[in-house]
Amino acid sequence: MNGVQRREQIAALLSSRKPLTGTELARQLGVSRQVIVQDVALMRAEDKNILSTNKGYLLYHSSDCDGSCRRVFYVRHTTEQVRDELLCIVELGGRVLDVSVEHELYGQIRADLLINTRQDAEEFCQRLSTSSGEPLKVLTRDCHYHTIAAPSERLLDVIAAELDRKGFLVHL
User: In 3D, which of 17, 24, 21 has the Cα closest to residue 116?
Assistant: 17
pTM, entire model: 0.71
Is residue 73 within 8 A of residue 162, CB to CB? The reply is no
User: In 3D, which of 153, 170, 164 has the Cα closest to residue 70?
Assistant: 153
Q: SS3 breakdown of the chain: % helix, strand, coil, rounded to 5?
A: 45, 25, 25
What is the pLDDT at residue 156? 94
Is residue 140 within 8 A of residue 65, CB to CB? The reply is no
Q: Which pLDDT tens digits describe the chain residue by residue (172 residues)?
A: 898 899 999 988 988 778 899 999 999 999 999 999 999 888 888 878 788 777 788 887 654 555 579 999 999 999 999 999 999 999 999 999 999 999 888 889 998 898 999 999 999 999 999 988 888 888 889 999 999 999 989 999 999 999 999 999 998 7
What is the pLDDT at residue 67? 52
Provide the 8-state DSSP code for 92: T
